[in-house]
Every structure is written in structure tokens, then in C-alpha cells.
Amino acid sequence: MKKIFATYCYLVFLGFFFLSPISPVRGQDSMHIRRDTLKADFVTQMGTFFKESSQKSLIDLEQDRAIIRQNKIFEEIKIISRQAGAFLKKGFDTVSLKLELDQIGAWHKLSQDGVFANKGSSQTSRNLTTTFNILNALQMEVKGYKRNVDHYQSQLVNYRLQIDSLTNDKSLFTLSHDSLELSLYLSRLKILAKEISPVNEKLSQNINGIQIVQNLVNLELLKLETDMDEIRYYQQQISDKSFAKEFASLWEKSKYDRPLEEIFHFSILKAKLLMAYYIKANWGKLMVLFISIGMVILYLFSLKNGIREQSGADAENSMLLSAPICSGTAIALAIGQFLFTDPPFVFSTIILFTTALLITIIFRHHISKYWMVIWLSILTLYLLAAMDNFILQVSRPERWGMIIIAVFGTLIGVLALFFKKQHRTLQEQWILFPICLMVIMEVMSIALNIFGRLNIAKVLMVSGLLNVVVAIVFLWVIRLVNEGLTYASMIYKKQERRLFYINYNRVGKRAPVFFYTILIAGWFILFGRNFYEFKLLAEPFNELFYSEHQLGSYAFSLYNILIFF
């Protein structure tokens, strides 16, 4: 308003000065000429005045806007600096991360034993598989570290970028022509610089420090990925040359002999390491498995109490209800093991052998002594074969041990197949087919082992015994389920809300066909896991089942849907 008022007064003065009447000292013509000249000068000066005033007003407007913008930027810089300072106080534990990387480096070096160091005359399939799984677990661990480091580094860079962007705003370089305002502005700049300088310095230090850690993480990740690619190459070579001679024949002198104690030592360490990482990665599924075991056991106790209340019988003669804890655990383990994808051999062996022992306790009074001896013999040989499969590098004593296991497996299988008088006591005659397959595989294992084809020989030896154990375990699980459905159909003749609307009259006294189909498929999966070719066949299905699909904002996978059902 003051500027407008001053301008108005100035215009009035000029108008009064230039347009006021002039006394006629000279003639009329000179008077008219002077008056026209004065009017022209007035218009010119007015145009010049308005032009200069407009330019000055624009400059003043820009300065006013700059001052407003400067105040806003100062506040934003202070806010971001405080946020950055709070973020820096939380910090990042680079010391612990470096220790973790050192530990991973040590485990990485351990996993290389027998594959990249002390590898002998040829690679073994079991050592390659175990080492690959360990490296894969280490890779997942390092990827987790990388995500954390990258996120922290991104946050640091983002804070510094925001501060740099604000401090480079062009409005900060618009200075006032007033000396007092300029002095005040420079004082504010000085104070702001003192406030953000420590934060900027810490940001730079942390960015430089985290980049060093980031380089270490990326280097370890690159080493792991390189070794995994090389192992894939070795596995493919073994698969392509399954029946090629890899080691010296048994009558020939071995080209490479490593003390058995060293082989045992690093084999046990690798098994422990792999087991620890697998449990850590799948603890949620383990909890689901334990909960499932508890639910099945509780249901069997409820079934047992229902039978006792309805018929007065104590159900001691029942194979299922005489040992509800063993039965419930065996059923849940046999089915629940398929929750776990690509488990290490030691993990699947523990589950299968535990289930087999529980089944043995359940049916010990329900089969003849002859078949009990056959079963216990096969189960013992399977345990020995599994223990041999934990040995990751070849030695001459191990090869002789493999031949002994395969010979006994062949003899027991032949005895079971050709002693036909005992076949009459078998309720399920088809169990002879897995036994026949076992004999064929054990004979082939012996021959291949003798002639130096050790990788395929070990796979055949272990798979031959495993296929019988899995078949018998699944057979008895089906029988237990059948018996459970029989008792349930006797007790619950109507749909009841507390049983989630299960209609046992429709289910009947026999397990549904799809249950048999699933268990046969399960036998094939457990049997096929021992072969590298099975992994190649399974990869497309794994990709189909485990890859996430997006439907709007909802992500799902076929595996999660299957688990839900």
C-alpha cells in the first residue's frame, strides 16, 4: 500500500508540474509548441516510469516469493536432518554382519571339501547334491543380508539426496538488495549449515562404510553362485554318463585313497549344517506337522472313547486304537512329510525311519513271525544303506560295505519271493512287486559297484531298499485309515456339526480312491528323489506349483491352495 500511495503522489506531482497553465510571455505559437512539448515529455516519462516500476515490482515479487520458499526449504531441511539423525542413531550392525559373513565363508569352505578340494579321482552324486543344498542355503542367507544392506544404503542415499536437492534449490540463491535483510539471511544460512553439517558428515561416513560391507556381501554371493553353477555342471556330467566308469574296479588299485576318518568327519559336518539350515527355513511347516500329529492323536482317542461308550469294548484288539499315539503319529508323518519340498536325505530318512518304527510297533501282533523277520531285516538294511548314503566321498572299505548290504538285500528278497508257502499269509500280494524291484536293483548295484560305476550303484542300492520300506509303510497307513473310517462310520451315523459335517455313511468303510492315488504318487516321489533325473523332471512342476500368480492385489500359488485343501 505504501508503494502504491507513493506512486500515486509522484504521478500527481508530475501531472501538476507538466500540465499546469503557463503564462503567456511569448506569442501564442510558442505557447502551443511548449505545451505540446511538455505533454510529450510527460507521456514519455510516464512510460519510462511505469516500465521501471513494473520491473522493480517483478524483482520485489520474486524476492518475496524467494523469501517464502527459503523459509519453507529451511524447515524441510531441518525436518529431514532430524529424520536422518534419528535413522543414523539406530545404525546398522556392520560388525555382526561381518562376523556372519566370516562364518558363512568358513561354512562355504567346508562345503567345498570333496568337491573343489580333495575331490579325488571323480565326483560323487551324494556329495554334489549335499554341497549344492548347503550352498543354496548359504546363498539364501546372504541374499537376506544383501536385502538388509541394500535397504539401509538406499535409505542413507535417499536422505542425502533429499538434503542435496533442497540445498541446491534456486530460490536459496536469490539475495535481497537490502543490506539488513541480506545480513539476516546469511546468518540463517550459517546457523543451518552448522545444524546439518554433522548429519551430512555422518551420512557420508555411513554410506562409505555400508558400501564396503555391500561389496563383501556381493563378493560372497558371487562366489556361492559360481560354485553352484559349477556343481550343476558336474551333476549334468554324471547324469549324462550314468553308466560310465568313474572309479577303479574292485580288483584294481585305487587311484585316490583318503582316510575314512576324514571322510566321516566332513560328511557329518555337512549333514549337521544342512539339517540346521533346513529346519531354520522350514520351522513353520514343522509346527504345522506337530499340530497335525496332535490333532490326529486326539481324534483317535475320541474315537476310542466313542467305541468304548457305544459297545462297551476296550478296543484293545484294534490295530489302530490299541496304540492311538503310535497310529496317529505314523499317519500324520506319512502324509505330512509331503509338506516339505526337496528335503535333505537326512531329514527324509529320519521321518521315514520313525514312521517305519511306529508301524512296526503297531502291526507286531498282526503279522506272522516269518514276515516280521523279513520286514525287520529289510528295515535294518535300509538303515545301514541310509547311513552309507551319508558318506559323501568314495573309499574302498565303503564300496565293500555297499556290496555286503546289496548281497543281503538280494538274499532276503529272493527268500521272500520264492518261499511261496508264506505268500498265503500276505493280505496284500502286490507287496511282492516292490520286493522284486528291490532284488533287481540290488543285483545291478553289485555289478556296477564291482566295475567302478559307483554313483549309479549307490543310488540303486539305497533306492531298492527304500522302495520296499515306503511301500510297506504306506500300505499299513492305508489300512490304519481304513480301520479308522470303519469305526467312525459305526459311531457317527449322522452328520454332526462338531465333526465339520463329515458324512461317514457316504465315505463308507474304505479310504477313498484318491487317497490311494495320492499315496502311490507319494511312493513314486520318495523313490524318485534319489535320482538326479527326477529333479530335472520335477523342476517344471515345482515352477508351476510354487511360482506366485497375481490376481489384482492378491498373490497366490497352486501349492498354497493345495495345502489349504
510 in Cβ contact with 489 (< 8 Å): no
Residues 244-301 pLDDT 10s: 787 888 888 877 778 888 888 888 999 999 999 999 988 989 999 999 999 999 999 9
d(CA 429, CA 414): 15
Cell of 106: 568358513
Q: How confident is the model at residue 9 (pLDDT cuts 50, 70, 90)?
A: very low
Per-residue pLDDT tens digits for 237-248? 887 777 778 788
Top pLDDT among 561 and 405 is at 405
Going from the C-alpha of 452 to that of each of 129, 244, 319, 347, 396, the distances in angstroms are 20, 8, 47, 29, 11
- In the chain the first and final C-alpha atoms are separated, in Å, by 78
Beta-bridge partners for 555: 550
Strand partners, 550: 555
Q: Are 323 and 476 a contacting pair, CB within 8 Å?
A: no
pLDDT tens-digit map of 182-214: 677 677 767 767 777 777 778 888 888 888 888
Q: What is the pTM of this model?
A: 0.74
Higher pLDDT: 201 or 534? It is 201
d(CA 558, CA 544): 7
Identify the H or E element spanning 436: helix 432-450
Q: What amino acid is encoded at 21 in this protein?
A: P
Residue bearing the bigger pLDDT, 318 or 137: 137
Q: Lowest-confidence range among 222-236, 335-349, 539-553?
A: 539-553
Instruction: List, in order, residues 6 or more apart from 188 with CB less than 8 Å away.
Output: 74
User: Contact at 8 Å (CB) between 234 and 123?
Assistant: yes
Helix then strand then coil, % of the chain, to nearest 5: 80, 0, 20
Q: How many CB atoms sit inside 10 A of residue 434's CB?
A: 21
The residue written with cell numbers 521315514 in the block is 352
Say if residue 302's pLDDT is above 80: yes
Average pLDDT, the chain: 79
The span from the CA of 302 to the CA of 498, in Å, is: 12
**Cα–Cα dist 446/453, whole Å:** 10
Question: What is the C-alpha separation between 360 and 371, in angstroms, rounded?
Answer: 11
Residue 253 neighbours by CB distance under 10 Å: 8
pLDDT at 496 over 60: no
Query: Would the CA dihedral through 295, 301, 307, 309 be positive or negative?
Result: negative
pLDDT for res 120: 72
- Summarize the confidence of residues 222-248 as an average pLDDT: 85
Q: Is the pLDDT of residue 60 over 90?
A: no
Q: What's the pLDDT band for 16 if we cut at 50, 70, 90?
A: very low
In sign, the C-alpha dihedral spanning 202, 204, 210, 212 is negative
Element containing residue 198 per DSSP (H, E) = helix 179-240
Q: What does the block give as the cell for 46?
A: 510516464
Phi-psi bin for 122: left (phi > 0), alpha (psi -120 to 50), beta?
beta
Dump pLDDT digits (tens) for 504-523: 444 444 556 666 677 777 77
> pLDDT digits over 395-415, tens only?
888 899 999 999 999 999 999
Sign of torsion, CA 212 214 220 226? negative
Q: Which residues touch 375 (CB under 8 Å, ≥6 apart)?
A: 360, 367, 472
Give the pLDDT band of residue 439 (cuts 50, 70, 90): very high
Percent of the chain with pLDDT over 90: 27
